[in-house]
Amino acid sequence: MTMTKKMAAIGLASMLAAVSLTGCGSKDNNEAASTNTTTENTTSNTTENTTTNSTNTSTDTTTAKLTGDFEIQYFVGGYGDKWWKQVINDFQAANPDLKIKQSGGPQINEQMKPRWIGGNPPDFVYIDGAGLNDRQMVEDGQLEDLTDWLKDAKNIDGDLITDILAQPAQQFDGKVYNIPLVLNSWGVFWNKALFKEKGWTEPTDFQSFLDTSDKIKAAGINPFIHTGKYPYYINGSILYPAIVSANNNDFTILQDMAANKVEAFESPAVLTALNKIVELRDKGFIDPASIQINHTDSQMLFLQNKDAFIPNGLWLPNEMSKDIPDGFDFGFIPSVTQDAGGKVVANTSTSTVAIAKDAKNKDAAKAFLQFIFSKAQASQWAELSGAPSNIKGDISASNAPNFVKDAAKYLTDPNTVVIPTITYNADVDKAMMDATDALTISKITPEEWVKRVTDAVKKASK
C-alpha cells in the first residue's frame, strides 16, 4: 500500500471488537491496490423500504424520504471494496427512491481531484489512500463542518454516534469535519501453524521475540523481514512502540516529535528504541533482502515461510488474500519491543469519512453517516474487510478472522497502551524513515539517526 496514513484501550478494543473495522490502511492502501478503477451506478433494487433519513438540520433518522442523486467516493486498497458494495446496497434497499452513484477504485482519489478543485465534488467521501489529506481538505474549505450536527446525531440504532466511536473525531481548530470509520493497528505477524509445527514460542515481549528468533535462525529461516522501500512499516510497528515503552509507556513523546520538538528526538527513550533495532540487525535476524523490496515482495516471502516475522498493519491478510497458502494461520501482536512484564503498545491510525461542503445532497450524506455507524455495520465491516472498525461492539460471535479477534483482545486489555493517530511533518517523517533504513544496514549509528532527524526537524521548523 502507499504512504498516505486513538483513544483509550477499551474504546479501541471495543471498536475492534465491534467491527474489528487504514489498506492497506492509510499509507499502505495504494500500494496494495490494483490499477483498475470502477465507477458504477447502483439502481434502486428493492427489498424492504425502511426509511433511514435526515434533513439538513435534523439528526432524526426517520423523517423525510430520501430522493435525488447521491454520489459516494471511496478508495479501494488493502481493505477491498466488498463492504462498500454491500453497505451501499443495504442503504439503497432502505431508500429505494434515492439514485446512488458509486465512484470507487484504487486510483479514484486522483481521478476525482479535478472535480474537488472545480467545486463539483461527490456528496460523500472516504478519506484514505494517496491523494487525499483531511487536514489539507479542511484548509482548502472542501469539507462540511459537522461540529453541531454530530453533537446530537444518532445512528439508525438510536445511539449517539459520538458514544459509539472507539476513537473520537479529530478536531481542526475546535471543529469536526470528518469522522473515523476504520481502525488500524500496526504490529508483528507470524504463521501460527508454522510455529506450532516447529515448536516455537509465540512472542509476548522483546526477550521472547529474541529467543524465538534465535531458534528460527538456527532452523535456516530468516527471523524478520520488513519493507525497506517503505520504512514506515518498521517505524510504525517496531520503532514507535519501542520509544513509547522506553518512555515509561507515555506516548506523548511521539506527539512532541510530531510537534517538531527537538528535545523529544534527543530523549534517551529514542536511543533505547533504536538500539533494539540494532540488536536485531547485529544478531543477523533481519533478512538482507529487506532493504530493497516493497511491501508486496516482503509479504510474499513471509507467506512462503521464508521469513518468520513481518511488521505490518491489520489489513495485511485481506490485502494478500489471493496468495495465502492453505493452512496459513496469522498470529498477531501489536508490539514486541516491550520488556518482559511490560505493557503491549498498540500504534493505531484511522481512516475517516466526510461530507463535501459543496455536496448537492447533504440530507442523503448525513443519513448515510447514520447508517454506516451502526453496530450491524461494525460486524459486517470486520467480516468483509478483515479489519477493525471504529465502532464499539462485540465481534466475538461474528465471522471475523481469528487474527482480528486476537487484535481485539489486545486492544480491549486495560493494560494495553494505545497510541492515538499521530501525523509527523512530511520532511521529518521521510528523514526518520531514511535513517531507519540506514540503521538496519549498519550505515549509521543510533546517535547518527538522531542527528539526521533533528537536523530535518530544525530545517522544517524554520
Answer yes or no: is pLDDT of 442 > 80.
yes
The reply to whether 358 and 243 lie within a common domain is no
The confidence band for 388, taking pLDDT boundaries of 50, 70 and 90, is confident
Same domain, 60 and 180: yes
63 and 157: one domain?
Answer: yes
Q: Does the residue 411 lie in any domain?
A: yes
* 389 & 443 share domain: no
Same domain for 299 and 174: no
Q: CA distances (Å), 12 to each of 181, 327, 411, 415, 430, in order? A: 12, 29, 6, 13, 28
Mean pLDDT for the stretch of residues 190-205: 98
Q: Do 365 and 428 fall into the same domain?
A: no
Instruction: Tell whether 79 is covered by a domain.
Output: yes
138 inside domain: yes
Regarding whether 370 and 300 lie in a shared domain, the answer is no
- Burial of 272 per CB tally in 10 Å (0-12, 13-18, 19+): middle
pLDDT at residue 340 greater than cutoff 50: yes
279 phi and psi angles, rounded to 5 deg: -65, -40
**Sign of the alpha-carbon torsion through 96, 101, 106, 108:** negative
pLDDT over 80 (residue 140): yes
Same domain, 414 and 449: no
- 136 plus 62 within the same structural domain: yes
For residues 74 and 42, is the Cβ–Cβ distance under 8 A? no
- pLDDT for position 221: 98
74 part of a folded domain: yes
Q: What's the one-letter identity of residue 109?
A: N
Buried b (16+ CB within 10 A) or exposed e, 16-51: bbbbbbbbbbbbbbbbbbeeebeeeebeeeeeeeee
How many structural domains are present in the chain? 2
Task: Please report, rounded to a whole number, the percentage of residues in the chain having pLDDT higher than 70.
Answer: 85
**Residue that has been written with the C-alpha cell 533504513 in this structure:** 437
**Whole-prediction pTM value?**
0.75
- For residue 96, CA distances in Å to 49, 67, 323 come to 7, 8, 38
More confident residue, 124 or 10: 124
Same domain, 369 and 341: no
Within-domain flag for 139: yes
- Domain match, 289 and 390 both: no
List the grid coordinates of 209. 521475540
Most confident of 18-27, 157-166, 198-207: 198-207
CA angle 405, 408, 410 (to 5 degrees): 120
Q: What is the mean pLDDT of residues 3-20?
A: 39
Q: Is residue 89 part of a domain?
A: yes
User: Which of 317, 313, 318, 388 is closest to 19 using CA atoms?
Assistant: 388
- Rounded to whole angstroms, the Cα distance separating 165 from 375 reads 11
Q: Quick: pLDDT tens for 177-186.
A: 999 999 889 9
Report the pLDDT value the prediction gives residue 85, as an integer from 0 to 100: 98
Task: Answer yes or no: do 75 and 205 share one domain.
Answer: no
Domain enclosing residue 247, as ranges: 185-346+423-460
The widest CA-to-CA distance across the chain, in whole angstroms, is 68
In a domain, 4, yes or no: no
Q: What is the pLDDT of residues 207-216, one digit of tens each?
A: 999 999 999 9
Query: Which span out of 11-25, 215-229, 373-387 was modeled with the highest average pLDDT?
Result: 215-229
**Looking at 98-102, 387-391, 424-428, 456-460, which range is the least confident one?**
387-391
- Average per-residue pLDDT for the chain: 87
Residue 247's CATH number = 3.40.190.10
Distance CA 285, CA 440 (A): 10
Query: CB–CB of 66/92 below 8 Å?
Result: no
Does some domain include residue 263?
yes
